[in-house]
Amino acid sequence: MAEKILMPRLSDTMTEGVIAAWHKNVGDSVKKGDLLAEIETDKATMELESYKDGVLLHRGAEEGGKLQVNDLLAIVGDKGEDVSGLIGGNGKQDASAKTQDAGKKPEKENTKSEKKTSAEKQPETSTQQPVSDIDISKMEEVVLMPRLSDTMTEGVIASWQKNVGDDVKKGDILAEIETDKATMELESYKDGKLLYQGAKQGEKIAVNDLLAIIGKEGFDVNKVVAATKGGGGQQQEPVAKDNADQQKAEGDVSKTASSGVPQQKVEDTAHESEQQVVNEGRIFASPLAKKLAEEKGIDLRYVKGTGDNGRITKSDIDNYKPQAAPSAQKAVSSEQKQEAPSTQPAQKQQPIVATPTYTKEDFEEVPVSQMRKTIARRLAESKFSAPHFYLTMSIDMDACVAARAKLNEISPVKISFNDIVLKAVAVALKQHPKVNSSWLGEKIRINHHINIGVAVAVDEGLLVPVVRFADTKTLSQIAGEVKTLADKAKSKKLQPSEWEGSTFTISNLGMFGIDEFTAIINPPDSCILAIGGISQIPVVKNGAVVPGNVMKVTLSCDHRVVDGATGSAFLQTLKNLLEEPLRMMI
């Protein structure tokens, strides 16, 4: 009996798979365990084996085609078996296919009396497939916005690497997508011509919405676009033309605005005009080029791009040399020399600087970034769904301060107090596995591996890269890995595998002078440790008051998983390890 094989979910974030290669053709014999196909997921290309014996009777998509999870991938059964019923499913697909065929038949076939009768009874539009019946997710030409992280709900087009009309090959970079955690490159998984862009640079698209269309010339782009908008059917012009119009409009606006510049500002802009402006209106540059230009103080209007369609790249910034700067400097110095005699007697007089006076309420509204949206959503869910409680403890850090100084004399990388706390947390979690757990609704997952997330502040918010198997690593290894992950987080170069899978999180604000604070749990973890700064305060030792180094830590716990006694026992172990650092070396 024929049996369906559906597209399996091969990763926790997979929503669709691309057929990288078929290893069996229709009509080939298949045995249990034989390699059927290679499936490209959002994380890797994986092999799919057959789980039954028979003959391959049907393939749901050809190489390069994509299927949603649980869509029909293949049918394996007996030779010659009729599988039309399995392919059609509930009949909707068959009906749709018949409608398409009806719309493609030559006019001469309509001479038959039966077709004339049906044509008289039905309106003219019945020969065309209704736009609302098109499933664009199953069209090979369509590229949907992929889910590039486990928390991503929408992406912003940081830049397009291909324009409408450009030839695209498998593996070419289509666009750079800004997610809630990083800016990532999106590769094409098929050959063809870029026929449509779903959004302009800087605009956002929800996951699984239309991102692009790649196909052959003559493909009906408007039909697909209309389907995504619920059958609106409006003619869509390529984004490339919109960009050109916008650049022209922005150029006109800038010229109009420049005509109204007050007279006193003309001299300030005179030197700037000596340098040739090569970019007007919207400037196309890679995110890295923009970042480098900002750091070096380079105005991108004067940089000539060597990339596609004049796009500014990193090499353009590196090779840029301002030509008008010397003449401007000479002009300024000559003016200073001319003015020097007249102004010398009045050098002691300080110029009066006008301080702006606000006579009305003033404010500024900025759009919410993808990262900030995700932080707001996830932490609100955590705070209002997980019953938090907090445990605070003071720890004598004298031994750690002395140990760190000695360790840094021989360590290949500088070890911070945060690295020592991370190592102590990993050792303590090994002894208290209930703290290293997750709430799953109907069950609690107790993790035997220890992956510690480290909160890192970035310009737009907060990222939590993960140190995996922290209990098995030395202090030097932890220090090097944390530094590398923090640098990648700040430059938005983290990959999904580097921020997923934490079992416990630490957040340290001690370097900002914070004595203690409470942190919100990072799901799916059950606890997060908030680390304050080390303060020198009077302490009592052996009956005498002496100066001591004290650090306060606060453990936020999900009461659905961790009870007060469990959390307290974990903190007691952590305290013992930090007050006697040699214990964590065993």
DSSP-assigned letter for residue 473: S
Cβ count near 473 (within 10 Å): 18
What is the distance between the alpha carbons of residues 501 and 262, in angstroms, rounded to a whole number? 58
Last residue of a domain, one of 289, 324, 359: 324
Specify the pLDDT at position 495: 81
142 and 81 inside one domain: no
Question: What order of strands is seen across the sheet that includes strand 35-40?
Answer: 45-49, 35-40, 16-22, 66-68
Q: Verify cis geometry, omega within 30 degrees of 0, for the bond prior to 524.
A: yes
H or E, element range at 77: strand 72-77
385 and 317 inside one domain: no
Residue 17 belongs to a domain with what CATH number?
2.40.50.100
DSSP-assigned letter for residue 285: B
Residue 73 gets the label, from left (phi > 0), alpha (psi -120 to 50) or beta, of: alpha
Per the DSSP assignment, residues forming a β-bridge with 558 are: 388
- Measured in Å, how far apart are the chain's first and last C-alpha atoms? 60
Strand ranges in 210-344 using DSSP code E only, listed in sequence order: 210-215
Residue 419 belongs to a domain with what CATH number?
3.30.559.10
165 and 208 inside one domain: yes
> Is 365 within a domain?
no
109 and 81 inside one domain: no
104 and 149 inside one domain: no
Residue 420 gets the label, from left (phi > 0), alpha (psi -120 to 50) or beta, of: alpha
pLDDT digit string (tens) for 251-283? 444 444 444 444 444 444 444 445 677 776 667
Specify the pLDDT at position 44: 65
514 and 578 inside one domain: yes
Residue 232 gets the label, from left (phi > 0), alpha (psi -120 to 50) or beta, of: alpha
Size of the chain in residues: 586
- The active-site residue, picked from 23, 271, 388, 559, is 559
Burial of 323 (0-12, 13-18, 19+ CB in 10 A): exposed
**Is-contact 127 115, C-beta < 8 A?**
no
Supply the pTM of this predicted model.
Answer: 0.48
CA dihedral over 191, 192, 197, 198, signed as positive or negative: negative
Residues of the chain scoring pLDDT < 70:
10-14, 42-44, 88-134, 137, 149-150, 181, 230-275, 280-282, 308-309, 323-358
Burial of 31 (0-12, 13-18, 19+ CB in 10 A): exposed
> Is 162 within a domain?
yes
> Is 249 within a domain?
no
478 and 441 inside one domain: yes
421 and 476 inside one domain: yes
CA dihedral defined by 394, 399, 405, 410, rounded to 10 degrees?
-120
> Is 229 within a domain?
yes
> Is 349 within a domain?
no
- DSSP letter for each residue of 505-529: EEEE-GGGT---------TT-SEEE
527 and 561 inside one domain: yes
What is the distance between the alpha carbons of residues 183 and 287, in angstroms, rounded to a whole number? 8
Specify the pLDDT at position 361: 84
Angle between helix axes 475-490 and 417-431 (nearest 10 degrees) is 110
Q: Verify cis geometry, omega within 30 degrees of 0, for the bond prior to 581.
A: no
Query: Residue 496 is part of which domain span?
Result: 370-585
481 and 561 inside one domain: yes
DSSP-assigned letter for residue 1: -
114 and 142 inside one domain: no
Residue 295 belongs to a domain with what CATH number?
4.10.320.10
User: Is 559 a known active-site residue?
Assistant: yes
- DSSP letter for each residue of 121-151: HS-GGGGS--GGG--GGG-TTEEEPP--STT
Last residue of a domain, one of 324, 355, 385: 324
> Is 460 within a domain?
yes
- The active-site residue, picked from 12, 252, 318, 563, is 563
* Residue 297 φ/ψ, nearest 5 degrees: 70, 30
> Is 255 within a domain?
no
Specify the pLDDT at position 243: 47
DSSP-assigned letter for residue 343: H
Specify the pLDDT at position 247: 46
- Closest residue by Cα to residue 407 from 395, 419, 391: 419
Q: What tokens were used for 164?
A: 């409408």
> Is 254 within a domain?
no
pLDDT digit string (tens) for 333-387? 444 444 444 444 445 555 555 566 667 888 888 888 777 888 888 889 999 999 9
What is the distance between the alpha carbons of residues 286 and 177, in angstroms, rounded to a whole number? 11
Q: What tokens were used for 295?
A: 């750091």
190 and 319 inside one domain: no
Count of structural domains, the chain: 5
